[in-house]
Amino acid sequence: MTRTPAYRVCFVCSGNICRSPMGEVILRSLLEEAGLDALVGVTSAGTGGWHEGEGADPRTVRTLDEHGYDGSAHVAHEFLPERFDELDLVLAADLGHVRQLKRWAPTVADQDKVRLMREFDKAAVAAGTLEVDDPWHGGEADFQRCLAEVRGACHGVVAHVAAELAATRR
């Protein structure tokens, strides 16, 4: 019998081969370290289906691996609006994704689930740099920057999810 997680997070970027897979892989690892992995389901998707069924970009997999994360099993998926029903938090890479996801959201409550990834990184909030630029057209440095930004956000997401889970237990 498969148990439904108490809290469900989905990372979203354009094609689900760079930014959102990084978020999915890193958050799963951090949740495991925090002992929350059994309570939280983590997925990722793209706003477009161009890469449906493909693995993550090889540069994404390599960058994750260099930092101790395994992204080799990732399979790209397109985000479908009916997924809102099964999600608690939808984390978008940039404002274009936020706008698209909010247009797709069937209810105001679903719109409220959509947030920028970096809203959970206090340093990014203080600096006003809330978007994660797409590294796809760039090189090694762009993928390294992307990983650092996504990882910073994921630490904040763990704290947010822990607080949400604690609040539901009261």
28 is known as an active-site residue: no
Instruction: Identify the active-site residue in 10, 13, 18, 146.
Output: 13
Q: Which residues contact 102 (CB under 8 A, 6 or more apart)?
A: 111, 114
Instruction: Identify the active-site residue in 19, 83, 115, 118.
Output: 19
Q: How far apart are CA 163 and CA 123, in angstroms?
A: 20
Q: Residue 68: is it exposed, middle or buried by C-beta count within 10 angstroms (0-12/13-18/19+)?
A: exposed
13 is known as an active-site residue: yes
Instruction: Identify the active-site residue in 37, 88, 134, 142.
Output: 134
Report the candidate in 152, 83, 67, 142 with the shortest Cα–Cα distance to residue 117: 152
134 is known as an active-site residue: yes
Q: Which residues are catalytic?
A: 13, 19, 134
